[in-house]
Chain A
Amino acid sequence: MNVRILTNCSCTVAAALLLLGSAGCAFKVVRPPPLVVGSAEGGNVRVVKYPAYILVHDSQSNWDLHQIKDNAVGLTEGEVVHWLDMGIDGVTPGPPGHPIENGIEWIKNNYAQLPDCAPVRVVGGLFYALGLEKITLLSGATKIIWAPTDPISYLAVLRVIYLTDWVQETLGEVNTGAGHLVPWPGPFVPLAVTAPVNRGVDWAQYGSVELYIYVVHKISVGLDDALDGCESAYGGVVWCFVRTR
């Protein structure tokens, strides 16, 4: 008797916890109408009755667990520039103008008008690799809190890879330039030597980016699976109550 009471209590507590834990999740009870199977000629043959379905997932709701997860992760991608632009646009009448972002784009476009030569490419490549305008609010905050004097603390995995690419290209420019100083044709260090090295570095860079995307995607899918499980459990609990009605 006591065991039964204990079991019932545990179930009730578990159900309540699940309900509380999923407080943000709305649910919808769907009762599919009975299916009347018949024929136009012969009249009704039979009626199929369906149980109620509990729907929890709502792809359009910002309170859906998947959306909360995506938005939480997305916060880490929010650029400082973007948030500043949002603030400016918020107090400026008219449609959003993204003044800072457009200003940066203007600078980039004008820089691109400079003659195509090695110094221009090297400097442009460095800024491209650094992606200073892409500094995120969270990484910026981390820098200030944890390492205010460390200039590279905001660099994420991808930035490191891009910088290796920039170093590679800069060395290539130097090698090509130095080629003018030596009697043999072509770059200072012959292509036969640099090509395999470049191929190897390229392979490593591309591979790293792919691995990064692969891991991020797998983590995301794993989290989604876990959230599906939560939704399913929550739906199950709700169903226990609905079924008795």
Chain B
Amino acid sequence: MGVVAGVLGFAGGCATVERVEPVVPGTFAVPANQAWTSTGIALELKQKLLIEEVEHPRQVLIKGIKWQTVTARGTYLFDVETGPYPLEPDRVHGDTRYPGYCLIGRIGEDGVPFFVGTHFQGLAPQAGTLWLGINDPTPQLNRGDFRCRISTDYPDAPEPAPAFTEAETRTEALDNPEAPKPVPKPAKPLEQPKPVPDANVVIIYVDGLRPDVVVEMAQWGQMPNFRELFLDNGSWVRNSFSVLPSLTLTNFSSMITGDYSNRNGVKMQAYYDRKANVYVDGLSVRYFTRFADELKARGVKAIYDYFPDTFSSTAMPYEPLRANVLQLNLAEWLHRAVNAANYASNIRNKMDEVQTRYALDLASSPKVKVMLVWLPGNDVVSEQTPHGQFGGARPTIARMDGDLGQIVERLKIRHRFENTYFILVSDHGHAGGHDIVNQRFDVKREVFHAYLQMNVVGAWYRFNYPGAPKSRLGAVADYDGAVGIFIPLGSVDSGDLSTPNTYEQLAHYGLADGSQVNAVELFAEYSAMGRWPLKDTSKRPVDFAVAKVDADTVLLYKTMDRQALIRARLNADGIFEFKYEPVRHYETGQPVEPITTGDPLGYLDSEAFRKEVRNVPRWMAGYHTGTEWLQATYRTEYPGCVNSLNLYFRWDGPVTKDSPVPSQPGILLFASKGWVFEPKINLANVHEDTLGSRHGMAFREATNNCLFVSGPGIRKGVIIESPHRMVDIMPTVLQMMGRDPNSAEMDGRPIREIWEGLQ
């Protein structure tokens, strides 16, 4: 290893450095009060380069202030600059991916700066002299220096072993008729996890947190508490996915009930109440108990019903009007909130701080055994900064780590840590910000007004079509990357919003002038300027539309030539099975025209899908359970969509005379990468937010959620590859609390792979 040792002098052009202590031989001192310092090391193009920070008793003081200390990793926790940082000069201030004041490098005097932090390992992007510096636009007042060791060689990582999954073994055996039949093993009862007695469960629910982002930040040293609790001493369920649409309220509902929306009834976070003719925005404070009331009326059990005397939570996306644990109720939360935020209207800006403060009260109470802490700050900030979690949301995520640390610390002080299970979960991923900055598609103007000439009510105010009669009304649940379309039955002027249209009705939808259009085609394929070019579907705002064909079938519509039917049936065990049937030009009552390429979810052309199922035609010919579909598709761009999309259009929940039937949109639209369904003109509010990264979409980036678990008996430092879903969290919680997860008859199944000795 060619360690460049003993180089203490700096190449010509360097200013004098104030040395407060001797530099260890073989170590470079990079003064923090200079933008750049030459190391004097000449690198060849693509030469190996390893830079590692060396332990150093004195941290760098930014602007010479003693509470603004950093190491080479830099920080997201304070920012005293106003201009762009040298590492990302093209980013607006407050929207940077990399931490401020970190160690950075460049090759050559005009080289492009790159992030070093505490550890850099890579190939030199160009030939020249290596320079190191600080990611600070005004470093002159800083004090101290970074210390690092530089090598021009490092051992290559061993080649990874080829992946071979359980599913491959299974399908290979299934697909080979000549293969010897597997010898049935004698049935023995499945070994069950043994959670500690008197356990506690703490669910840290970080809204919209991307797993890749939080792991990257942990690797950069920005998430020490998260790293210690979950990466080093816990398990990461890497292939965990939300239910569809990947919106907060639908997924929160699946998380706390363990059921899909066909059994809990929560379809969107905003909807048009077809019975009462009222638009309900579930995220509004006005309706904060509405969804919980509906669950109760439908007889659906949620986490607070499973632990009636020991569950408590901070404010949740929606919640029942009940005091689960006396003295820890919503009134106390509000009191804490006002005092943590300084004044009431600041609560929304300091929501994570507020929630954490209250969580400390919960963690201090021995009465609380199961607690849920919702930290929505990340989602809010991600949605309002162009680069989302690859930009301005990072300080919020870094602060979340501090929040986590406080909760853990309190549990330790109260001697509750040792028997506590921690689950860090996000309800969905976030799309955009990394390589794409999202743009808006205004479905109200572009389709409702342009083609249907209808007034529309939505989350962003009622937007009338000039000249349309008042009664000609449609509704949209226009949030993020999924939008539910509610249009009157049969034609724009029927005025009947009481029932959703079927695909047949939508395909022959009546306009005001008596003509008919295919409404699904309009919403999926048109903007006000006409049909989007068919050849390049990647630039269109709508990824695909979904509509109900009959009680058991839905149609996925990307274009006329790229469609798929998803059919459902119950097998002999009473479990739903689904068949995915790619077709073109679907018409009700007509023979279907199968396609062999270009299906809406891209499975037919997916190498990952083919590898998992081996024989694609045979797989497509049959029905498979949701778990099997998830296993087959979890490496594709659309993991586990088949069952989730079909179940979305069903209602199989407990139905009594008085139980409310969920309000179902007639068409569900999913946005393409780079697009968000949101009006270009906000008619609800003077304040106009910047558009950031979003969720709701069906593709992987929006559906891959965080799921990290830690606690007694949980595997440590492990990445679990087998796929899971949001519905698996509630049964896992029941198992941790020593309950039988099967007794609740949820859709989800407990995650066994997290337990030591059960693989």
Question: Could you tell me which A residues sit within 8 Å of B by CB distance?
Answer: 26-28, 30, 32, 35-42, 48-51, 53, 55-62, 67, 70-71, 73-75, 77-79, 82, 86, 94-95, 105, 108-109, 112, 128-129, 134, 158, 161-162, 165, 202, 205-206, 209-210, 212-214, 216-217, 220-221, 224
CB pair B286 A224 closer than 8 Å: yes
CB pair A38 B528 closer than 8 Å: yes
Question: A209–B338 Cα gap in the complex (Å)?
Answer: 19
Q: Which B-chain residue is minimally distant from A216 (CB atoms)?
A: B331
CB pair A28 B329 closer than 8 Å: no
Question: A112–B364 Cα gap in the complex (Å)?
Answer: 9
CB pair A40 B530 closer than 8 Å: yes
Question: A50–B680 Cα gap in the complex (Å)?
Answer: 14
CB pair A213 B327 closer than 8 Å: no
CB of B737 to closest CB in A, whole Å: 21
Question: A212–B451 Cα gap in the complex (Å)?
Answer: 49
CB of B390 to closest CB in A, whole Å: 25
Q: Which B residues are in CB contact (< 8 Å) with A112?
A: 364, 413-414
- Say whether, besides A162-B327, A210-B321, A32 and B681 are in contact (CB < 8 Å): yes
CB of B548 to closest CB in A, whole Å: 29
**Contacting chain A: which of B187-195, B339-347, B581-589?**
B339-347
Which of B321, B339, B360, B529 is packed against the most chain A CB atoms within 10 Å? B339
Chain B contacts with A in 437-460, Cβ cutoff 8 A:
445, 449-451
Q: Considering the complex of A and B, which 4 residue pairs feature the smallest CB-CB distances, nearest first?
A: A39-B530, A74-B344, A58-B686, A209-B323
Contact with B345, one of A38, A41, A71, A77 (Cβ below 8 angstroms): A71
Q: Which B residues are in CB contact (< 8 Å) with A75?
A: 343
Q: Which A residues are in CB contact (< 8 Å) with B531?
A: 39-40
CB of B684 to closest CB in A, whole Å: 7
**CB of B605 within 8 Å of the partner chain:** no
CB pair A70 B344 closer than 8 Å: yes
Count chain B residues whose beta carbon lies closer than 8 angstroms to a beta carbon of A: 45
Q: Which A residues are in CB contact (< 8 Å) with B360?
A: 105
**CB of B164 within 8 Å of the partner chain:** no
CB pair A57 B686 closer than 8 Å: yes
Question: A26–B686 Cα gap in the complex (Å)?
Answer: 8
CB pair B449 A59 closer than 8 Å: no
Question: A50–B451 Cα gap in the complex (Å)?
Answer: 16
**CB of B3 within 8 Å of the partner chain:** no
Question: A164–B528 Cα gap in the complex (Å)?
Answer: 64
Q: Which B-chain residue is minimally distant from A42 (CB atoms)?
A: B530
**CB of B466 within 8 Å of the partner chain:** yes
Question: A209–B685 Cα gap in the complex (Å)?
Answer: 34
Question: A94–B78 Cα gap in the complex (Å)?
Answer: 12
Question: A206–B325 Cα gap in the complex (Å)?
Answer: 9
Which of B288, B338, B413, B451 is packed against the most chain A CB atoms within 10 Å? B338
Question: A127–B560 Cα gap in the complex (Å)?
Answer: 69
CB of B494 to closest CB in A, whole Å: 23
Q: Mark B677-694, 1 if CB is under 8 A from A, else 0.
A: 000011111110000000
CB pair A86 B342 closer than 8 Å: yes
CB of A244 to closest CB in B, whole Å: 18
Q: Which A residues are in CB contact (< 8 Å) with B335?
A: 77, 79, 134
**CB of B26 within 8 Å of the partner chain:** no
**CB of B535 within 8 Å of the partner chain:** no
Question: A134–B336 Cα gap in the complex (Å)?
Answer: 9
Q: Which A-chain residue is minimally distant from B339 (CB atoms)?
A: A82
CB pair A41 B530 closer than 8 Å: yes
CB of B731 to closest CB in A, whole Å: 27
Question: A128–B445 Cα gap in the complex (Å)?
Answer: 56
Q: Which A residues are in CB contact (< 8 Å) with B326?
A: 161-162, 165, 202, 205-206, 209
**CB of B7 within 8 Å of the partner chain:** no
**CB of B334 within 8 Å of the partner chain:** yes
- Say whether, besides A57-B685, A73-B344, A109-B413, A78 and B331 are in contact (CB < 8 Å): no
A-B contact pairs, 26 of them (CB 8 A): A27-B686, A30-B681, A30-B683, A32-B681, A36-B528, A37-B451, A39-B530, A40-B531, A42-B530, A48-B466, A50-B466, A55-B682, A58-B687, A61-B687, A67-B345, A73-B344, A74-B338, A77-B335, A78-B338, A82-B342, A112-B414, A128-B327, A162-B327, A209-B323, A216-B331, A217-B288
